[in-house]
């Protein structure tokens, strides 16, 4: 079976999606706040590597940038920010359209479900303090059927 990563166009396809999403969130009045301090020039490549690994692709993120703990720490300790999360998902959905995914394409729904889950349930789960994030978390994997649970 084709992985979500492959169906999304592999690394190149996810980099296009990351650039489209990034452009939208930076311009958003609410979500853009998170980027006002400056942005790493390799943010889109790093984000695409993270998404790629999560969606069944190679371990590029883990090899080059860190583990899930580093990602979760980066998003932790900022308190609740429900509106920001909602708008980030809205920007992602718009970015899916920007890269040509039709609303009827099953891949679009899977990518939306992944991003919404990652935004609401995974990377923002330690709202109070980044110090609460445990070491050694691995990047969660997502398939056509949703979150891949360890057996």
Task: Map residue 147 onto helix, strand or coil.
Answer: strand
- Which helix (H) or strand (E) is 143 found in, with range? strand 142-143
Quick one: average pLDDT of 24-51?
A: 85
Residue 45 lies in a domain: no
Task: Map residue 146 onto helix, strand or coil.
Answer: strand
Q: What percent of the chain has pLDDT over 70?
A: 84
State whether the Cα torsion 29-33-36-39 is positive or negative.
negative
Cα distance from N-terminal residue to C-terminal residue, the chain:
20
* Phi and psi torsions of 135, nearest 5°: -75, 155
Mean pLDDT of the chain: 86
Most confident of 16-20, 87-91, 121-125: 16-20
Beta bridge partners of 142: 147
* Phi and psi torsions of 21, nearest 5°: -65, -45
Residue 43 lies in a domain: no
Residue 21 lies in a domain: yes
Q: What CATH number does residue 142 fall under?
A: 1.10.490.10
Residue 74 lies in a domain: yes
Q: What pLDDT, on the 0 to 100 scale, is given for residue 108?
A: 97
Residue 44 lies in a domain: no
Domain extent at residue 22: 4-29+52-147
Q: What pLDDT, on the 0 to 100 scale, is given for residue 116?
A: 94
């Amino acid at each position: 079976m084709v992985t979500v990563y492959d169906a999304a166009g592999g690394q190149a396809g996810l980099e296009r999606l990351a650039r489209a999403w990034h452009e939208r969130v930076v311009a958003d009045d609410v979500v853009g706040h998170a980027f006002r301090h400056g942005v790493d020039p390799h943010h889109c490549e790093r984000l695409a590597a993270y998404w790629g690994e999560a969606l069944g692709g190679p371990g590029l993120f883990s090899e080059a940038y860190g583990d899930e703990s580093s990602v979760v720490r980066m998003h932790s300790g900022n308190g609740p920010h429900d509106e920001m999360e909602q708008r980030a998902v809205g920007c992602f959905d718009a970015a899916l359209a920007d890269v040509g995914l039709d609303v009827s394409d099953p891949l679009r729904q899977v990518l939306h479900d992944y991003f919404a889950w990652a935004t609401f349930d995974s990377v923002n789960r330690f709202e109070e303090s980044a110090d609460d994030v445990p070491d050694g978390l691995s990047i969660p994997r997502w398939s056509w059927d949703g979150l891949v649970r360890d057996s």
